[in-house]
Each structure stands twice: as C-alpha cells, then as structure tokens.
Amino acid sequence: MDYIELKNFKLRYFILFGIVIFIVSFILFFITDNPASEEWITFLVSVSFLLYLMYQTKKWNFIYNEQPMHTTMTKGRWAKYLSITACFQLITVVFTAILLTIVYLVFEEHIRELFSFFPMTDVEDVRPSLLVYILFFINICILAPIYEEMLFRGILLRRFTLRWSPQKSIIVSSIIFGIIHLNPINAVFAFALGCVLGYAYLKTKNIVIPILLHSFNNFLAYLQFVYTNQTTEMDLPTTEAARQGLLLNVAFFFILTAVIIFLFVKYYKNFRQLKNPPPKLEESADVDTV
C-alpha cells in the first residue's frame, strides 16, 4: 500500500467538499418535485464526487489495486461474496416490508380513513419515465459503487489500517459508510455490507472486487425499484392479505438471518486472521490526524 501518500492525505478537504455538495443538493431537491430532475441532481452530485476523487487520486498518486483480480478471486470466493451480498440486500427489503406491514396493521383504520380523503391516481400517471429508470440505474449501479468504494475502502479503510487493526478499521469505516445512508434501516444493513466489502478489499487488494459486489447489491435494489413501480395495484390490502404477507416475510427473514449467521460463523475465523502488512521502517510514524 502507498503508506506515505495515505499518511499525508488530509481528509478534512474531502469532508468540506462533501458538506458543500450536500448543502447544494439538498437545496436543489427542496425546490424540485420532478423525479427526473431529482435523478439529474443525483447524477450531477455523483459525477462531482467521482471527478473530485479522481483529482485527489492523481494528486496523491493513490494505487488501489495491488494484485490482479484473476489471481485473488476463485469461483468459490465469488460465490461466497455474492451470496453474502445478496442476503444483506434481500434481508433489508424483507425487514422493511415487515415494519411497514406491522405499521399498517396497527393503524389500518386510520390509514384507510386518510386514504379515502385523496382521490385515486391513475397508475400510468405515477409511474417513473424511462429517463428516470436509466438515470437511477446509472446513479446507483455504476457511479455510486465506484466513488463510494474508492473513498470508503480505497482511501478511508486503508488509512485507518495505518493506525488500527484491520478488524477495527473495517468496523469504523463501515460505521461511517452506514451513517451516510441516513435511513436508520438502510444504515444498519449498509454497515453490515460495508464490513463484507472492507474484508473483500483487504483480502484481495483489488478495488474492482468491492466495486462489483457493491454494484451487484445496488442492482438488486434497482430491480426492487422497477418491480415496485410496475405494480398496477392501487388499493390498500385487506387485513387478511396483510397478515399473510407479514407471515411470509417473517419466514423469509428468519431463513435469510439463518443463512447470514451460518456464513458469519463459517468465515469469522478468516476475518480474525486478517492482518495488516508490516509497514516500512521509515513509514512507521503515527498517522496525521484528520
């Protein structure tokens, strides 16, 4: 790893840039209610982050890949990483559905009363346009995985390893990764996904691998987005249908939880055995503070 460059890199400038972009995007989101405009704003924000990250990469001569992908990834390792990634995304969807269904069943009478005050909108009028689908795919399946992995795994995680153990570095960087997702439910599962992506990066030393895993995870979310917006059912479900859906989702939740626990127990030893490479003598000083 490029220890000298990582030690000298100041995160405060990137944090300041991120705050400015967040404030600008928040203002733009506030003044627009057009889905296509919102996706364009997200696209511009993503491109801005990626360009700034590429500028910093060139400036500090960061090297994200230390080993070629074909020498570190086997079919078994791909199967392991992809299965864990898919489980985290699916359990996020199922858990969210469980919470929404419980809220609906508890407040069904009030929700139905509130629903009756608003006229039914034609399904065709509320479906996103083709442009929204395309922009959403580009934003979450291509741009976000690239700049988020370069930042959180390629820079932040590796910088933490100069001070802490790889285990602590993965956990801390994943906590930050979860926090930026804002939504409490997504934050929890983003943290868990971040741990998998962090482990995959430190194990393989190739940034393309967590990028592809992240993209696969977001692609599953994209499929859910497409499916949700293609449904033609506008009526609220009956109490019985909601209860049946709740039982089905609870069953899926326990199955997915069991799979994740099994995979965690199976590979926990590998996680504990992960070690940082010994730093060079002249690079063993403490890392500068942010």
Q: What is the mean pLDDT of residues 161-179?
A: 94
**What are the residues whose beta carbons fall under 8 Å from the beta carbon of 162, sequence distance 6 or more?**
3, 6, 7, 279, 287
Answer yes or no: are the C-beta atoms of 187 and 140 closer than 8 Å.
no
Residue 87, CB half-sphere, CA atoms under 13 Å: how many?
20
Residue 194: predicted pLDDT = 95
- Categorize the per-residue pLDDT at 16 as very low, low, confident or very high, splitting at 50, 70 and 90: confident
Looking at residue 280, its pLDDT comes to 53
pLDDT higher than 60, residue 286: no
pTM over 0.85: yes
Q: What number is the average pLDDT over the span 169-173?
A: 96
DSSP state of 281: G
Mean pLDDT of 78-94: 91
Between CA 50 and CA 56 the distance in angstroms is 10
pLDDT band at 199 (very low <50, low <70, confident <90, very high): very high
Helix (H) or strand (E) holding 240: helix 239-272
Residue 214 has pLDDT above 90, yes or no: yes
pLDDT digits (tens, 9 = 90+) for 180-192: 887 888 888 899 9
Token digits of residue 48? 């801005």
Half-sphere exposure of 117 (CA within 13 A, CB side): 4
Q: Is the pLDDT of residue 287 over 80?
A: no
Q: Looking at residues 128-144, what average pLDDT do you find?
A: 94
pLDDT category at 231 given cuts 50, 70, 90 is low
| Domain coordinates in residue numbering, the chain | 3-118+126-276
pLDDT at position 285 over 50:
no
Q: Which pLDDT belongs to residue 18?
A: 84
Residue 160 pLDDT class (50, 70, 90 cuts): very high
Give CA–CA dist 262/256, Å, rounded.
10
Question: For position 282, what pLDDT does the model report?
Answer: 44
**Of 65-79, 125-139, 220-234, where does mean pLDDT reach its minimum?**
220-234
Q: How far apart are CA 202 and CA 50, in angstroms?
A: 22
The pLDDT value given to residue 185: 81
Give the phi and the psi of residue 273 in degrees, each rounded to 5. Answer: -85, -5
Token pair for residue 11?
């995160």
HEC assignment per residue over 168-228:
HHHHHHHHHHHHCCCCHHHHHHHHHHHHHHHHHHHHHCCCHHHHHHHHHHHHHHHHHHHHH
> Does position 142 have pLDDT exceeding 90, yes or no?
yes
Answer whether residue 284 shows pLDDT above 80. Answer: no
Between 290 and 72, residue with greater pLDDT = 72
CA distance 118 to 134: 30
Residue 104 pLDDT class (50, 70, 90 cuts) = very high
- Under DSSP, the state recorded for 232 is -
